[in-house]
A and B are shown apart, each in its own frame.
Chain A
Amino acid sequence: MAGNVSTLAHVAKHRQRRSLQDPQWLRVALIGLALLFVAIFLVVPLVAVFTEALRKGVGPYFAAVADPDARAAIRLTLLAAGIAVPLNLVFGLAASWAVAKFEFRGKALLIALIELPFAVSPVISGLVYVLLFGAQGWFGPYLGAGDHPWLGAWANAHDIQVIFAVPGIVLATVFVTFPFVARELIPLMQAQGKEEELAAITLGASGWQTFRRVTLPNVKWGLFYGVVLCNARAMGEFGAVSVVSGHIRGETNTIPLHVEILYNEFNIQAAFAVASLLTLLAFITLALKNLVEWRHRRTLEAAAAADIRQFVNSP
């Protein structure tokens, strides 16, 4: 914690120290350059989304958003995120508990493997599930339209299908959002160590009581942060679900896939109208992310203040 506090102090220090201030012309030039860069690459695309979405006015905008196919896409996106996020949340808690509170061989490898999905192209994330569950895949014969004597027939009868269906979309979403919660929690729990948990245990708390009353409250902001990022990716994922989705309107289309279909049909305004929903999601994500960072900062500053008080009113 001391490290973070000194970071904050440093930031203030850097900005205040006169001797380290760059000449006025350089500051203006660099700030201008940075703002220009941000404007061209970030602001203009954002403005473009809403301009294109509202090009024909408010009526067509809401018509595009309220379209039954769009509503079906929204439902499917919520469903996929609603399954993927809790699953990865449970995984994140389990993995960070094991990694942060215990010593075991291969820990570094496990941490590296958790980050693996970030290094895999979304298209490949979808492809691997096609290889597993597609008609020619390992488990294909046991699934709908599969030729396994009885499992395939059973799956057929119950209309069990993974690829080009909802389960495939959910699985691909789980894959690409896999690391988000774990990678926030692991460093956080590692930094907190296990002394507080040990204190709870010596006071007679059970493992579950310790986890619920000591560990969880300590990581709740990090957990929230990870969930927000995980959810953003789950709802916005395009490449991976594009591979496993059947692109069937109203059935296997998520919001991003619906945007693509509309765009490719030259229904540009409707595409941007639906895309604006995802842009709003991005805004909410950024706002929540900054809220968490701001909350963290306040806690840290309170801790720093307490440290100062320690010298002022020692007993």
Chain B
Amino acid sequence: MRPPVSRRSVLPGFGLSLGFALAYLGLIILLPLAAAFVKTAGMTWADFWAAVTSPRVLASYRITFGASFLAALFNVPAGVVLAWVLVRYDFPGRRLVDALVDLPFALPTAVAGIALTAIYAKNGWFGQWLEPLGVKVAYTPLGVWVALTFIGLPFVVRTVQPVLEELEPELEEAAASLGATRAQTFRRVILPAIRPAIITGFALAFARAVGEYGSVVFISGNLPMFTEITPLLILTKLEQYDYRGATALAVVMLLGSFAMLLLIQLVQRSSTRRARA
């Protein structure tokens, strides 16, 4: 039989630091989140189901998840091009562009919301040119997409950029010396290397977009069954003192987010495992 392994440690403060971290995490994050699930558990299944599948709610899922998906999808090629340009090319203003990419992280969402609305409204800088062409952006699903594209922009760039930087030039030189064209090298050597980063970036952008509120509410117009996103519907229900309805919707969204989080973890874990192998 093996003797018990010693639990002693040379560095002090383990109990204190972990204890504080766990207590703080529990009080600030886990207890409040648990409140949402407990609240929902008080509902009957039929009530819950009715609350999360009413036509207005279903329409809000469509616009929320649909626009988020399309925004994240658009951010994949845009993000890869930006990352590529920032890593591989030297051009005037490269440092500035690199810094600007983080703007959607740093700019408060309400500011982004009113700024985008001002640009794409009927008399806005872009709106005045687009509306005569029959393209309405503000107060339509397209506007929701614009806002979600804005806030999701940094994710793919920032996940792909470090992978491109780490990529050994020798790999591409080897491909070139074996007779591959630039396009073939990109498709068969570079793309496989950055694929996990692309998936992670896409998933992060999508998850962020689904929960987004501030940048969307101004440009969407919040028309029920048309441009009303789920987070806003939660707030609306709350303001009508429909706590249960709001919480039921919140639980659906939380479960969706947790699933996304899990997916991201799995993608990252499998890609690091492959990198190690």
The A interface, classified by DSSP as helix, strand, loop or mixed, is helix
Q: Knowing A119-B257, A124-B250, A286-B99 touch, does A20 contact B173 (C-beta < 8 A)?
A: yes
Asked whether any CB of chain B lies closer than 8 Å to the CB of A44, the reply is yes
Instruction: Describe B's contact surface by its main secondary structure.
Output: helix
Among B15-23, B46-54, B194-202, the stretch that binds chain A is: B15-23
Q: Which of A37, A97, A104, A120 interacts with B78 by CB under 8 Å?
A: A37
Contacts of B30-84 to chain A: CB distance below 8 A: 30-33, 35-36, 39, 78, 81-82, 84
Residues of A within 8 A of B106 (CB): 232, 236, 281-283, 285-286, 289
**Beta-carbon contact of A122 and B108 below 8 Å:** no
From B9, B84, B103, B254, A30 is in contact (CB under 8 Å) with: B84
Beta-carbon contact of B114 and A102 below 8 Å: no
Docked complex Cα distance between A199 and B172 (Å):
43
* 8 Å CB contact of B207 from A41, A45, A119: A119
Complex CA distance for A197 and B10, rounded to whole angstroms: 10
A229 CB contacts on chain B under 8 angstroms: 105
Residues of B within 8 A of A259 (CB): 110-111, 114
Q: Does B211 belong to the interface (CB within 8 Å)?
A: yes
- A136 to B38, alpha carbons, bound, how many Å? 13
- Contact yes or no, A113 B11, CB < 8 A: no
A37 CA / B85 CA spacing, docked (Å): 12
Does the CB pair B29–A17 fall under 8 Å?
no
CB-CB under 8 A from A54, the residues of chain B are none
Instruction: Decide yes or no whether A237 CB sits under 8 A from chain B.
Output: yes
CB of B141 closer than 8 Å to a CB of A: no
Q: Is A275 an interface residue (CB 8 A)?
A: yes
Interface mask (B191-232 → A, CB under 8 Å = 1, otherwise 0): 000000000000000011011111000100000000000011
- The reply to whether A122 and B231 contact each other, CB–CB distance below 8 Å, is yes
What is the interface size of chain A, counting residues whose CB is below 8 A from a CB of the partner? Answer: 105
- Whether B257 pairs with A120 at a CB distance below 8 angstroms is yes
Q: Within the complex, which residue of B18, B150, B208, B250 is in contact with A104, where a contact is CB–CB below 8 Å?
A: B18
Tell whether B135 is near chain A: CB-to-CB under 8 Å: no
Given the contacts A22-B182, A44-B119, A286-B99, A207 and B231 also touching, CB distance less than 8 Å: no
| Binding stretch for chain B, among A58-66, A126-134, A305-313 | A126-134
Out of B91, B111, B176, which one reaches A31, CB within 8 Å? B91
Residues of B within 8 A of A134 (CB): 243
A117 touches B (CB below 8 Å): yes
- Give bound CA distance, A243 to B16, whole Å: 34
Residues of the B chain whose Cβ atoms lie less than 8 Å from the Cβ of A256: 108-111, 214
Question: Which chain B residue has the least Cβ–Cβ distance from A172?
Answer: B32
With A10-B165, A14-B88, A20-B173 in contact, is A131–B214 under 8 Å at CB?
A: no
**The 7 A-B residue pairs with the shortest CB-CB distance in the complex, in nearest-first order:** A236-B108, A121-B211, A207-B12, A239-B213, A128-B32, A238-B214, A98-B18
Interface residues of A (CB under 8 A from B): 7, 10-11, 13-15, 17, 19-20, 22-23, 26-27, 30-31, 33-35, 37-38, 41-46, 48-49, 52, 87, 90-91, 93-95, 97-98, 101-102, 104, 110, 112-124, 127-132, 134, 136-138, 171, 174-175, 178, 194, 197-198, 201, 206-207, 210-211, 229, 232, 235-239, 242-243, 255-257, 259-260, 263, 268, 271-272, 275, 278-279, 281-283, 285-287, 289-290
22 CB < 8 A contacts A-B: A14-B165, A30-B81, A30-B84, A42-B100, A43-B100, A91-B20, A91-B21, A94-B21, A120-B257, A121-B213, A123-B232, A124-B253, A127-B247, A206-B12, A238-B214, A257-B110, A272-B114, A275-B115, A278-B110, A286-B99, A287-B99, A289-B99
